[in-house]
Chain A
Amino acid sequence: MTSSSAASRKALSKIASNRLQKELVEWQVNPPVGFKHKVTDNLQRWVIEVNGAPGTLYANETYQLQVDFPEHYPMEAPQVIFLPPAPLHPHIYSNGHICLDILYDSWSPAMTVSSVCISILSMLSSSTVKQRPEDNDRYVKNCRNGRSPKETRWWFHDDKV
């Protein structure tokens, strides 16, 4: 599911790799709390460790985010998914896809990996119940053949969680 998508992806543009290098430096100086960037030599795919915030349903749990950057990042949003096992959450599908508007319609080129991470942690933290989205099975079935979440027409779940 995870390796095929990167192979077909175009190399980063000059702007994209400039910007990602700066982001990486910034991350090393000032990493967002609760996240750890797993060092690789691949600038186009980041794997980030997420620690559930203390006092929330996901305290003491660790998950992995995979962030793939498109050629025209940051004009285009990165593709962000959880690597298995994905946390049990009403907006996270069992295949790791995340229903979060800033990753799709509401993406802004001024956002960064760091700000996306903070949004995801905040989404996890505000959850009151550990369960899959209602339409999980149907959605996951539709996503076989390695379809990217960016090809989904999302309608966003309520904004309370």
Chain B
Amino acid sequence: MDFGEDRDSSVDFDGDSDNDIDFEDADVGFDTQDKDIKPRKKAFEVDFHVHSPQDIQGQQDKQVEEVSNILGQPLEATAILLRYSRWNKERLIEQYMEKQDEVLDKAGLGQDVARPPRLQVINGFMCDICCDDSRGMQTFAMKCNHRFCVDCYRQYLVQKIKDEGEAARIRCPGEGCNQIVDSKSVALLLSTDLMNSCRYQELLTRTYVDDKDNLKWCPAPNCVYAVDCGVKQKDLHRIVPTVHCDCGHNFCFGCTLLDHQPTPCPLVRRWLKKCEDDSETANWISANTKECPRCRSTIEKNGGCNHMTCRKCKHEFCWMCMGVWSEHGTSWYNCNRYEEKSGHDARDAQAKSRASLERYLHYYNRYANHEQSAKLDKDIYLKTEKKMTQLQSSSGMSWIEVQFLDNASQALQQCRQTLKWTYAFAYYLARNNLTEIFEDNQKDLEMAVENLSEMFEKSTDQLAALKVEMMDKTTYCTKRRIILLDDTAENLKNGNWKFNVELV
């Protein structure tokens, strides 16, 4: 007997997509003409568009109308056909032209789709679901002729939509019937209120976005936008497609996690898994307190900057490496680079495993530190608003003139997010000539960030005088970030990075 659908049929929309026309490559030729007009697109930027629910609905309607004209089918039937073909227009039209009956049948339409749905009263009718045979009962059937009373049909639809979240592929309640209940029939059977309350239209739209590879919902809570981006899954080892939703959320189109440039998705997956597995040691690492290297008094870090000054003995040191700060600010800054252990040590197996743990901890420490600092910076950002009002009243600056604090704070958040991921990236990076440049870029960005972060600890009355300096530092931070991302993305695209692990 038949337990599922027939898999051997020649009509198949889920198969390979080699026939797809690649629109991205199609307009490469125009690049040269635009070069003089607009700035070159950075290597780490990808093309994308943000769509509102109305846009998505509009797109859907437009495509349905277009295909409806070609196929000569009514809009509802065309919508079913398109959903069935997962919105692959070209394939649908081709298949439809070849074997119309089979396509219609498999999509759950059957012949004669032109008749509008209507309710009927039929003499001597008994509903097979509730066994009611009262006179004058309203009944409904699609063209498959499986007729049930309106109440049963309605209850069935509500259950499918509300409880099972179905919309595009609700089948006729008849036994073994594959006929799909189209939206016009649903509209006839359910009141507008009922349709709204069970979010039928939203569910329909949802399948449109879910079905299309170039569309993804913004993962931010309560965000209703969808993002359109052409980057394919198979390209994720050489490009990190960060997109920016209109709601302000920056996320990776590949894996929908929070922006993780410059680290490619496969490494992000590995890194997060590793951090999860090693969380015991990580717990130890992320302890929030340290001792002053000079006087041993306990210090809790409560701001984003790594430059620590002991309250007690006034010793200035770096939170990361606990080294003397005076050695950091000037010519050398050894806080971002892990000095590889000498080969001599590594020969000993025990030393090797210790070195590998130490190496991981080195990178994890810095990764976690930026995560933590970003959180602390955010706290400061919340206080910034207060500072901005204070500044307005104390220095007579206008609202627009104090916006530099807001800009600085946002730049800081963004740079920390990038810095954080540079450490996961570096952990998997195998050493070659390019890694030096990467580490220099990382170091520069880190210094720029720490410098800016430090400024937030100044008191309000000092801030007004530091406005220009702060703006400069903000610009510098952003610039360093772009340089780093541009370099890593460019080399990733060209396959110049060598990693310790496979990018799968």
Chain A contact residues, CB within 8 Å of chain B: 15, 18-19, 22-23, 74-76, 100-101, 108-111, 115, 119, 122-123, 126, 156-159
Chain B contact residues, CB within 8 Å of chain A: 1-4, 128-132, 146, 148, 152, 155-156, 159, 171, 173-177
**B173 touching A156, Cβ below 8 Å:** no
- Can you list 15 A-B contacts with CB-CB less than 8 angstroms, sorted by A residue number? A15-B129, A19-B130, A19-B131, A22-B131, A23-B131, A75-B156, A100-B3, A108-B174, A108-B177, A109-B129, A109-B156, A110-B146, A115-B175, A156-B3, A159-B1
- Which among A22, A75, A158 has the greatest number of chain B C-beta atoms within 10 A? A75
Contact of B1 among A75, A109, A119 (CB under 8 A): A119
Contact of B148 among A100, A110, A115, A159 (CB under 8 A): A110
Nearest-Cβ distance from residue B177 to partner chain A, whole angstroms = 7
Q: Which residues of A contact B152 (CB under 8 A)?
A: 75, 109
Given contacts A75-B156, A110-B173, 10 further A-B contacts (CB under 8 A): A15-B129, A18-B131, A19-B131, A74-B129, A75-B159, A101-B3, A108-B175, A110-B175, A111-B175, A123-B1
For the complex, would chain A's binding face be called helix, strand, loop or mixed by DSSP majority?
loop
Q: Which residues of B contact A109 (CB under 8 A)?
A: 129, 148, 152, 156, 173
Nearest-Cβ distance from residue A131 to partner chain B, whole angstroms = 18
**A18 touching B129, Cβ below 8 Å:** no
Q: Which residues of B contact A19 (CB under 8 A)?
A: 129-131
- Which among A101, A109, A115 has the greatest number of chain B C-beta atoms within 10 A? A109
Contact of B173 among A108, A115, A122 (CB under 8 A): A108
Cβ-closest chain A residue relative to B164:
A105
Q: How far is the CA of A156 from the CA of B174 in the complex (A)?
A: 21
Q: Which residues of A contact B171 (CB under 8 A)?
A: 108
Q: How far is the CA of A140 from the CA of B278 in the complex (A)?
A: 35
Cβ-closest chain A residue relative to B131:
A22
Nearest-Cβ distance from residue A45 to partner chain B, whole angstroms = 20
Cβ-closest chain A residue relative to B129:
A109
**A75 touching B177, Cβ below 8 Å:** no
Nearest-Cβ distance from residue B4 to partner chain A, whole angstroms = 6
Q: How far is the CA of A159 from the CA of B177 in the complex (A)?
A: 18
Q: Which residues of A contact B176 (CB under 8 A)?
A: 108
- Which among B2, B130, B132, B156 has the greatest number of chain A C-beta atoms within 10 A? B130
Cβ-closest chain B residue relative to A76:
B159
- A110-B4 contact, Cβ under 8 Å, with A75-B156, A75-B159: no
Q: How far is the CA of A115 from the CA of B131 in the complex (A)?
A: 16
Nearest-Cβ distance from residue A23 to partner chain B, whole angstroms = 8
Nearest-Cβ distance from residue B87 to partner chain A, whole angstroms = 24
Nearest-Cβ distance from residue B157 to partner chain A, whole angstroms = 10
**A18 touching B132, Cβ below 8 Å:** yes
Q: Which residues of A contact B174 (CB under 8 A)?
A: 108, 110
Q: Which residues of B contact A22 (CB under 8 A)?
A: 131
**A126 touching B156, Cβ below 8 Å:** no
Q: How far is the CA of A15 from the CA of B433 in the complex (A)?
A: 77
Cβ-closest chain A residue relative to B126:
A22
- Which among B128, B132, B159 has the greatest number of chain A C-beta atoms within 10 A? B128
- Which among B3, B4, B175 has the greatest number of chain A C-beta atoms within 10 A? B3
Nearest-Cβ distance from residue A124 to partner chain B, whole angstroms = 11
Q: How far is the CA of A158 from the CA of B1 in the complex (A)?
A: 10
- A159-B2 contact, Cβ under 8 Å, with A19-B131, A22-B131, A75-B155: yes
Q: How far is the CA of A109 from the CA of B156 in the complex (A)?
A: 8
Q: How far is the CA of A100 from the CA of B1 in the complex (A)?
A: 11
Nearest-Cβ distance from residue B161 to partner chain A, whole angstroms = 13
Nearest-Cβ distance from residue B31 to partner chain A, whole angstroms = 48
Q: How far is the CA of A148 from the CA of B2 in the complex (A)?
A: 24
Nearest-Cβ distance from residue A127 to partner chain B, whole angstroms = 11
